Amino acid sequence: MSARAQAATAARSEPAALAADPILTVEHLTMRFGGLLAIDDLSFSAERGQITAVIGPNGAGKTTVFNCLTGFYKPTEGMITMRHADGASFLLERMDDFRIARSARVARTFQNIRLFPGMTVLENLLVAQHNTLMRASGYTLAGIFGLAVYRKAERKAVERARYWLDKTGLLERADDPASDLPYGAQRRLEIIRAMCSQPLLLCLDEPAAGLNPAESDELNRLLRDIRDHHDTSLLLIEHDMSVVMGISDFIVVLDYGEKISSGSPHFVRNDPKVIAAYLGIDDEDAGTGGAP
């Protein structure tokens, strides 16, 4: 076992926080880009119905984990399992990107917002419901002739979009081009677009980046609401510890592609290794030893 691997196994985690009903299990995930080891033997799981946060300093490998989850990258090693409540399970690392969204029902947002800028706000939300609508439109024919089956499905889709727009205060902007929205609204739109695809797991990549404190609070309310009322578990990346502490149920801390700690916000906040990674204190000074 290499020194690095030893360090990974030596990472402290709170025993009580071990997931009992995980929706997502990442086991021995390793991602190598040529000579660069971006993720090194990472294992963690996200509990169903909770908000799990992956935090860590810049370059710790957080986004790489997300990219492996959503089919962007094929991991070098490891297994990523998504378990639905009905018992169905999916090995994400083996699936095509669109199937991860469609069958495994994992959705994600990006650090730099990726809306469809040329489409209206409402259309962005309808694209997210593509598969339901496509089926209802009889693969387009019923859609051309405006048959009742399709019109009903479309009404339902618009209704769902309206629900989320109303919740995030974007209802009045529904017919504006998505690119015309202010930054904070675009962030919210990206999140509710992901929600319109009815995911069971929603992965958010730095959702609070660039938001002012008021917008940040609003975001926290939205995320809690999603967790509590919509049968969707959340996995979020945050760079900023202070944002994440307020809403997370469970936190995984990465540094240099390895898990250095995991547990409840309280546990993680007080873990000397986490403090060391964030503040740059020598490991010796932090009194943990064992780290390379």
Q: What angle do CA 156, 157, 158 make, to 5 degrees?
A: 90
Query: DSSP letter string over 12-45?
Result: EE-GGG--SSEEEEEEEEEEEETTEEEEEEEEEE
Of 150 and 267, nearer to another protein (C-beta) is 150
Tokens matching residue 210: 């660039």
Q: Closest separation between CB of residue 105 and another protein, Å?
A: 9
DSSP 2: -
Closest CA to 24 of 42, 46, 54: 46
Provide, rounded to whole angstroms, the least separation between the CB of residue 84 and another protein: 15
Please answer whether residues 283 and 7 qualify as being in contact, where contact means their C-beta atoms are separated by less than 8 angstroms: no
Q: Output the DSSP codes for 121-182.
A: HHHHHHHTTHHHHHHHTTTTHHHHHT-HHHHHHHHHHHHHHHHHHHHTT-GGGTTSBGGGS-
Least distance CB 33 / another protein (angstroms)? 17
Distance CA 292, CA 284 (A): 10
Instruction: Report in angstroms how near the CB of residue 137 gets to another protein at its nearest.
Output: 5
Smallest gap from residue 95 Cβ to another protein (A):
11
Q: How far is CA 177 from the centre of its chain?
A: 25
Give contact residues for another protein (rule: CB under 8 A).
70-72, 96-98, 100-102, 107-108, 110, 112, 114, 116-119, 123, 126-128, 130-131, 133-134, 137, 139-140, 143-144, 193-194, 197
CB-nearer residue toward another protein: 133 or 286? 133
Name the residue nearer to another protein (CB basis): 236 or 247.
236
- Return the number of the residue (13 or 70) whose C-beta is nearest another protein: 70
- Report in angstroms how near the CB of residue 131 gets to another protein at its nearest: 5
Residue with tokens 């309310």: 221
Residue number with CB closer to another protein (115 or 251): 115
* Segment holding 237, helix H or strand E: strand 233-238
Between residues 186 and 248, which has the closer beta carbon with respect to another protein? 186
